[in-house]
Amino acid sequence: MPDEPIRPFRWDLVRPDQLGSLLDDVPEVNLGYLDELIACAGKVLARCGDGELYFVGRSVDSLFDLLSGALAGTSWQDRLHPLPLSLPGLWADDLTADELAQLRTNLTAAGLAPAELMRGRPTVFVDLVSQGHTFENLYELLRDWIDEEHAQWDVIRRQLRFVGITRRGKTSPNKWRWQQEAEWTAELPASSIRNVSLDSMVWSYFGDYQAKTAGSFWHGRWSDPEVGVPRRDKKARYALAEAALLVERGKSAEVRRRLAAGLGREPTTGERWSRELQLELRR
């Protein structure tokens, strides 16, 4: 495998002193979706099973930013991991040998090599979900790698979690659910797949329209060192201002209190890890 991982540049917004005057002329950011995002964040935490959270791609950047602020200074502050990766519409057979090798190097650097998946806390992937193709592709890529490494699948399958953020719609016994149509989910315990609903317009904003701080990290760019150069164009700076404001709001006592309250309303509230996290957030 290649020696060096490649990943897009991302500012450290929990300690944003490096931004300087970069945001001075950026228009005011509107966080009209904040209430929805806080509620979603609390449910994601509650349904992660006390795991390490990996935020797949760019669509969940705002969720990562809010939680980065909220969990700063807590025992959970190092459990949040951005996973820049664009996989929809791509299958393992479509990758060249070099692309697959670079992907595995990048995943290893992120703590996702097969040997790492057997140890420690559960590994939880979080993403916006429509049809579930990104999760499926990520799962298949990991599954092939696990088999090649002769890692213990019977151990790893109990450690993997997928939390899909779906569009909120009318509830019904006959409602279509992405995981029911995905054959690969049958290889995991039923508790490994969880969903959190989000207002449809907010979901669409994050998934389709929101400006991002970095470009899409698709397979043609996995080996491109240029992705490590920060973007400073108008859209990227607006995205950075939005991200920085979300981190700041996440640090507030109000947001932390609301996240703790959200955890307290979930079935997992009686579990020790949840109680301890609620106490940390309320402090």
Per the DSSP assignment, residues forming a β-bridge with 198 are: 167
Which residue type, as a one-letter code, is found at position 31?
L
Closest CA to 23 of 192, 187, 186, 248: 248
pLDDT 10s per residue in the chain (283 long)? 677 999 999 988 887 677 777 888 888 999 999 999 999 999 999 999 999 999 999 999 999 999 999 999 999 999 999 999 998 666 667 889 999 999 999 999 999 999 999 988 999 999 999 888 899 999 999 999 999 999 999 999 999 999 999 999 777 666 767 888 789 999 999 999 999 999 999 999 999 999 999 999 998 899 999 999 999 899 999 999 999 999 999 999 999 999 999 999 999 999 999 999 999 999 8
Neighbours of 33 (CB within 10 A): 18
In this predicted structure, what is the pLDDT of residue 91? 63
Helix axes 34-46, 61-70, angle to 10 degrees: 80
Domain-by-domain residue ranges, the chain? 31-282
d(CA 36, CA 202): 8
Closest CA to 36 of 235, 182, 255: 255
Closest CA to 30 of 207, 238, 209, 191: 238
d(CA 213, CA 233): 9
Residue with tokens 């939390």: 163
Query: Is 236:61 a contact under the CB 8 Å cutoff?
Result: no
In this predicted structure, what is the pLDDT of residue 88? 67
3-state secondary structure 246-263: HHHHHCCHHHHHHHHHHH
In this predicted structure, what is the pLDDT of residue 20? 74
Query: Is 37:202 a contact under the CB 8 Å cutoff?
Result: yes
List, in sequence order, every beta strand (DSSP E) within the chain.
52-56, 80-83, 123-128, 160-167, 193-198
d(CA 68, CA 6): 22
pTM: 0.95
In this predicted structure, what is the pLDDT of residue 24? 85
In this predicted structure, what is the pLDDT of residue 14? 87
